[in-house]
Amino acid sequence: MEPRLGPKAAALHLGWPFLLLWVSSLSYSVSSPASPSPSPVSRVRTSYNLGRTFLGLDKCNACIGTSICKKFFKEEIRFDNGLALHLRPPPDDLPSYSANYSDDFKTWRPVEISRLVSKQQNKISDGRICASAAAPKTCSIERVLRKTGRFQKWLQAKRLTPDLVRGLSSPLLRCPSQRLLDRVVRRYAEVADAGSIFMDHFTDRDKLRLLYTLAVNTHPVLLQIFPGAEGWPLPKYLGSCGRFLVSTSTSPLQEFYGAPPDQAADLAYQLLGVLESLRSNDLNYFFYFTHVDAGMFGIFNNGHLFIRDASALGVIDRQEGSQAASGAGDNKDIFSCLVSGCQTELPSCDTIPEKQNLVLVCSRVLPLLLQAKFPSPVQEEIDAELTRCADGTRPDPEVLGAASRLKDILRPLRTCDPRFAYRYPDCKYNDKF
């Protein structure tokens, strides 16, 4: 079975030769199709340049050994066979690109190749890195980062501890517990022999990759440490390096704003359930969003809703307690400024209320999904509970109560049919679904 054409990739050409062209020069195009090499092996070049704009590090050897490089080299990830006559890089304004993935070259499934930061932010980041070393306008990013005081501490460290990530801008690392950081190291998929809480098996390059990812965008890390296979509402991680990520494909929630009432009710019900699992789960972690929009949530082709973008998720450890980022300003360095202003301050974890996720979603996402969908008086009941749920001035119990009542209203509005394959046909025989 050949890879299927994806809607976002109509101008992309199949295979690794195009990838070489694309990531080597994001502004270059050619007028004739690339000639396929006789075998994937002949395409591997140890000095191969992926381009700093794409990876964020200098050359492909910064990513050699990662799962994503292996998948590209083996052509397990391919761009769709497009309709255009010429090969051109994807538009710079697209945050993600469609591709197909296979581990047996027979069955292909759609995946997304996502930018972890925008191209414009890449340029700003590169400039800050070079300026931090009083270097010219262009410099070896990897060489500069290796010489920083923070990375030198990482080189000496046997275990990832809160002081090594203090000052980084990600909400995930605002007040990390040792239990959370041990989970990061133990489940980091880009090293051999993962499973230990100690970093003895990390090479220098492994440590730089992990530090860089934690500084730029923690979404790939969250997909690894809280995998969907264990019930977490996140898509499957397929690989990442530098400034890009490959994960299973989902459709953003805003594409369903015009969905029929039963589907809108189903998606809203699922979303409220996801927020409930972020607040209450067996591992006793409290996940909170710093901000939300509909693009952060996605739907698989079986109708199942997941968190599509976890970059704005923070984690508070209720079991062990989190170490507050006291003195974070004193620990700021170039790694603190790769995707945000160096003076950016995140709120204290002690100030995050339980209602925060619900207030954000009920005010900015659900109204557009549920507006004018249902007959009276059901619509009025939904609107009333949405208003209470979105009111950040109400105490936590009142907001949580409004969300619970909203779920009760939405539940019977869902239908049981094959469109909802994630719960069909179970829903015919069990009210739980």
Domain residue limits, the chain: 130-236, 251-307+343-429
pLDDT in tens, 113-151: 888 877 778 778 888 888 888 877 778 888 889 999 999
Mean pLDDT by 10 residues, the chain (433 residues): 39 30 27 34 35 43 66 67 41 71 83 80 82 79 90 97 93 94 94 86 91 92 95 91 80 95 98 97 96 94 94 94 58 84 74 96 97 96 98 97 98 94 92 80
Q: What is the mean pLDDT of the chain?
A: 80
Q: Report residue 241: phi and psi, to 5°.
A: -165, 140
Q: Residues of the chain with pLDDT > 70: what percent? A: 76
What architecture is domain 251-307+343-429?
Answer: Orthogonal Bundle (1.10)
pLDDT in tens, 202-217: 999 899 989 999 998 9
